[in-house]
Structure 1
């Protein structure tokens, strides 16, 4: 006999949501508040001799030319990497979505780089770009060409772009799921009406998966703006002091923050930089969310129900 549905008490709801709520409070909310309080001090990370300085760190940040230059550099980096990442993931998904020989093997090959740890990936590419024994320069010398200093300005920036684009497999899997969710009847109807393959892809497939494309774009922006490990490890130095040797092309905003924390021991100023950056990323995300209706197609109308016209 089928079991009758029973209404669970409110305590069950709170019991199921308690782990997330406790984790959010302890690991997100409290660190945010603590970081803001630290940004109002001159705390150096270890000394008990610190004092309240109010908004002095924020005022200093407004006139910090290095921080602003790093911010502009980071925005340019994100503007280049994110579109290439989204387009590359979509292109791989389109290729893998076809009937190919050993398609499962190809999916695995493209996806594997995305599961490699960030540190291991950066160290591996550092070896590839090595000027003396790296495989790229070895190949160039075998072809009779001169070696290239990949890890120095200005080519180190393009090396960082390559490192960021290497793990397209994760985005490819999401794009592949989106492509397989497009109703084939719509594409077949467009072909019957005389549309070519490119027109079908542009006017049918892309609008149907535009929410996924937007999701990939906005998450890619957030990730690209917080890049730290890759440019930090693509240097010839090691240790915490190695941040001072990061080439100028790769001195992104988070590199400047890292330097203030662990090289200059200015925890208060570094916290102020992070809080301003958090608000900037939050504002950029909200702006992107507000502009979705102009280029993202949703099967369910997201507009509020129109109000009844006044009589």
Structure 2
């Protein structure tokens, strides 16, 4: 017997939404408002005696060369890491998507690094990059290359990029799911029409998985811009407790924020930096969303496209 449709009252909807709404208000909205209020003061994180300074922190921020240097360094880091991450994940997914022996084993091997905790990963790579006892320099010594200072400027910047690329397995799984969702009929039809493998991949496969590529691009940019723990633990022997030993090459924006908060005791200035950074990330995300209209293909038409077709 078919179950009769029941219209629930509005309070049922609000009851289900309430946990998320309360969590958002208490754990996201309220801290953001509090952080903005603090950014308008000279609060040092300890003394209750602080005064209202208005937008002086923001004015100083835009005149601070260290902040600009950290921001440019972070943008360059993101511009390098994100394409390599997305492209590397896609490349691994293409390889794993083929009919290989022990394909499950290879998937596991590629995926395991992505579940290693960040702290353990950074400490492990710090040992790998060690100039005197690291395995990387030991391998280079076998072919006659002298030891390289991987953890000092400027090589530490490239060492950080290598560390970030080690966990491609998570993106590989997402890309693999996207590739397996591409209808084989389309690829076979293109091959029958005379298209080569590369042409099929470029003009059929890529457009079909473009929404996943866009998702990986947006999330990759947001994550890369906020990298913080890896540069601290990779080069600083004192760990997170003291961020002053980080080389200039890996003093990214969030590392600079941490130094302002906990080394300089400038909570108001650090909060202003975070709010400016939030607006930068928001702006970049909106730019990516706007650009997606020209290269992301959706099988289902959006509402705007349907309205345009009707007109």
Shorter-chain TM band = over 0.9
Shift of 1:133: 1.0
Shift of 1:38: 0.3
Contact kept? 2:233, 2:240, Cα under 8 Å: no
Report matched runs for 1:49-198 at 5 Å: 49-198=49-198
Q: 1:51 to 1:92 in 2, by over 3 A?
A: same
Query: For 2:133 and 2:222, how far apart are their aligned partners in 1?
Result: 35
Aligned to 1:217: 217
What is the CA RMSD across the aligned residues, in angstroms?
A: 1.3
Aligned to 2:203: 203
Aligned to 1:230: 230
Contact kept? 2:119, 2:229, Cα under 8 Å: yes
Q: Secondary structure at the match of 2:28?
A: helix
Q: Secondary structure at the match of 1:29?
A: helix
Aligned to 2:308: 306
Query: For 1:308 and 1:89, how far apart are their aligned partners in 2?
Result: 39
Per-residue Cα deviation, 1:21-78 (whole angstroms, up to 9, x for no partner)? 1111111000000000000000001111111110000000010000001101110000
Per-residue Cα deviation, 1:222-262 (whole angstroms, up to 9, x for no partner)? 00000000111111421456311111111111111000001
> TM-score, normalising length from structure 2?
0.97
Q: Secondary structure at the match of 1:234?
A: helix
Shift of 1:7: 1.5
Query: For 2:165 and 2:231, how far apart are their aligned partners in 1?
Result: 14
Shift of 1:308: 6.7
> TM-score, normalising length from structure 1?
0.97
Which consecutive unaligned segments of at least 5 residues does structure 1 have?
none
Contact kept? 2:242, 2:263, Cα under 8 Å: no
Per-residue Cα deviation, 1:273-305 (whole angstroms, up to 9, x for no partner)? 000000011011011101111111111222340
Contact kept? 1:240, 1:263, Cα under 8 Å: no
Q: Secondary structure at the match of 2:237?
A: coil
Q: 1:139 to 1:53 in 2, by over 3 A?
A: same
Contact kept? 1:235, 1:242, Cα under 8 Å: no
Count of matched residue positions in the alignment of Structure 1 and Structure 2: 309
Query: For 1:95 and 1:307, how far apart are their aligned partners in 2?
Result: 39
Q: 1:180 to 1:307 in 2, by over 3 A?
A: closer
Aligned to 1:6: 6
Q: 1:167 to 1:239 in 2, by over 3 A?
A: closer
Aligned to 2:29: 29
Q: 1:96 to 1:240 in 2, by over 3 A?
A: closer
Query: For 1:172 and 1:100, how far apart are their aligned partners in 2?
Result: 16
Per-residue Cα deviation, 1:122-171 (whole angstroms, up to 9, x for no partner)? 01100110111111112223333211110001110110000000000000
Q: Secondary structure at the match of 2:149?
A: coil
Q: 1:307 to 1:112 in 2, by over 3 A?
A: closer
